[in-house]
Amino acid sequence: DTGVSQNPRHKITKRGQNVTFRCDPISEHNRLYWYRQTLGQGPEFLTYFQNEAQLEKSRLLSDRFSAERPKGSFSTLEIQRTEQGDSAMYLCASVGAVFQETQYFGPGTRLLVL
């Protein structure tokens, strides 16, 4: 399978704990996005990487959220001191060449904060 992969697929944690999610984009896609989707809503943009540089962050991304893409390939999204409101599906998408704007999505990581 050469699509976008995300791990873990499901995560249950207690409030106050830290969690980290991983996204592996399609090989050679240099742009990577994180979105969050809550029940009954469409995905909402969180942050964007071009290669290893994080170029845009949404106001939705509080100080407890941090994302990295250290070698310009896979990316991690960490949430510190989780809150119940962080419960959502976290989606990753990647895009290939410039001006090819189609984003390919991974299966997501569903987070439940108890």
Partner 1 sequence: AQSVSQHNHHVILSEAASLELGCNYSYGGTVNLFWYVQYPGQHLQLLLKYFSGDPLVKGIKGFEAEFIKSKFSFNLRKPSVQWSDTAEYFCAVNELLAGTASKLTFGTGTRLQVTL
List of residues contacting partner 1 (CB under 8 A): 31, 33, 35, 40-45, 48, 50, 55-56, 91, 93, 95, 98-99, 101-108
Q: How far is the CB of 33 from partner 1 (least distance, A)?
A: 7
Q: How many CB atoms lie within 10 A of CB 107?
A: 14
- Computed from CA positions of residues 33, 13, 16, 86, in that sequence, does the dihedral angle turn out positive or negative? positive
Q: How far is the CB of 107 from partner 1 (least distance, A)?
A: 4
Which residue, 2 or 102, is less far from partner 1 as judged by CB?
A: 102
Whether 26 and 96 have beta carbons less than 8 Å apart is answered as yes
Distance CA(83)–CA(62), nearest Å, equals 12
Which residue, 48 or 82, is less far from partner 1 as judged by CB?
A: 48
Distance CA(29)–CA(2), nearest Å, equals 11
Q: How far is the CB of 110 from partner 1 (least distance, A)?
A: 11
